[in-house]
Every structure is written in structure tokens, then in C-alpha cells.
């Protein structure tokens, strides 16, 4: 009976090792060390937005729109590879709101910039308030975290848009 218990314990332990190994492998596949158009398109769609345009001839670029109508872009930064197949270590998410004057933009920037640490709020110099968020992919980003970053950016931008 002692041998039977030992064998069962060894089988259970082996099954646990296999389960942990597969879980680790599945989790590793969820992390991306850099991004290309397909990765970002997937994140944008998962965040509830629609891709309206994409360009991969130079640095990857995606234009998108949320269900509420907010337009935004994502541009690759620190990219390597051949045109059409570039992978990037950074992503710049941006949207802007045109106002009547740079003075109006300055007032809006002073109001919104201190309220949101997750995005940068600035005057673009052409009567526009620019909202941006920079993502760094060093050491990998989990796909769910990428989607969440898009949602955070668009959520804050939509909140500001709703009040201006």
C-alpha cells in the first residue's frame, strides 16, 4: 500500500509540474516584447474602438475611433525591421481638440493637466489641446495591459472631450 501511495503522489506531483509548465508557457505567449500593426489592431479592437486606417510603410501607424466618436492615433516609436514588418518598442497614443484660441487652450491645459497623471496634456501651438500617452514595451507588455492602456487613454480623453 505504501508503494501505491508513493506512485499516486508522484503522478499527482508530475501532473502539477506539467500544469504549471503549460500555464507558464501560455502566460509567456501573452507578453509581447514589441509591437507591430496586428498586435496594436488587436488591442484597439479589444478596447472597444474601431481601426479606421493603418499604415505600415514606415513606422507603424493606426488611426482609430471609439464607439463615442473620439478619434485617436497610435504611432510606433523606436522601431526596427523592414518597411511593412517593423516592430516597435514604444507607442505614442494621441488625440487633440481644436479650440478658438491658444489662450483658450492654455486655460484648458491648466485645468486638465494636473488632474490626470496617466496622460500628458499640452498646447500644440495651433489652437489645439493635445492629449498623449507614451507606452514603453521594454521587458514585454501583457496583451491585456496593452488593451487596458488604450482604454485608459480613450476613457480620459472622452471625459475631457465631454466637458470642453
Residue 157: per-residue pLDDT = 98
pTM of the model: 0.81
Find the helix packing angle between 143-163 and 37-46, rounded to 10°.
60
Of the two residues 83 and 51, the one the predictor is more confident about is 51
What pLDDT, in 10s, does the model give residues 129-160? Answer: 999 999 999 999 999 999 999 999 999 999 99
Residue 58: per-residue pLDDT = 84
**R_g of the chain computed on alpha carbons:** 22
What pLDDT, in 10s, does the model give residues 81-90? Answer: 998 899 999 9
Nearest to 92 by CA among 127, 119, 128, 71: 119
Instruction: Report d(CA 111, CA 80) in Å as an integer.
Output: 38
Q: Is the pLDDT of residue 13 over 60?
A: no
What pLDDT, in 10s, does the model give residues 83-136? Answer: 889 999 999 999 999 999 999 999 999 999 999 999 999 999 999 999 999 999
Instruction: Report d(CA 142, CA 5) in Å as an integer.
Output: 41
Name the burial class of residue 65, with classes exposed (0-12), middle (13-18) and buried (19+) by CB atoms within 10 angstroms of its CB: middle
Distances (CA, A) of 17 to 8, 23, 35, 119: 14, 10, 31, 42
- CATH says 33-163 is which class? alpha beta
Per domain, the residue ranges of the chain are 1-31, 33-163
Amino acid at each position: 500500500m505504501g508503494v501505491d501511495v508513493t506512485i499516486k503522489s508522484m503522478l499527482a506531483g508530475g501532473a502539477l509540474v506539467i500544469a504549471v509548465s503549460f500555464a507558464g508557457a501560455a502566460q509567456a505567449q501573452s507578453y509581447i516584447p514589441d509591437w507591430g500593426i496586428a498586435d496594436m489592431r488587436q488591442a484597439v479592437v479589444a478596447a472597444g474602438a474601431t481601426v479606421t486606417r493603418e499604415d505600415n510603410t514606415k513606422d507603424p501607424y493606426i488611426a482609430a475611433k471609439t464607439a463615442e466618436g473620439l478619434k485617436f492615433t497610435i504611432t510606433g516609436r523606436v522601431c526596427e525591421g523592414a518597411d511593412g514588418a517593423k516592430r516597435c518598442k514604444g507607442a505614442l497614443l494621441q488625440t487633440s481638440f481644436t479650440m478658438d484660441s491658444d489662450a483658450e487652450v492654455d486655460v484648458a491645459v491648466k485645468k486638465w493637466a494636473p488632474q490626470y497623471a496617466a496622460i500628458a496634456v499640452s498646447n500644440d501651438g495651433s489652437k489645439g489641446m493635445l492629449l498623449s500617452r507614451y507606452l514603453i514595451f521594454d521587458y514585454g507588455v501583457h496583451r491585456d495591459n496593452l488593451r487596458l492602456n488604450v482604454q485608459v487613454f480613450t476613457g480620459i480623453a472622452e471625459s475631457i472631450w465631454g466637458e470642453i
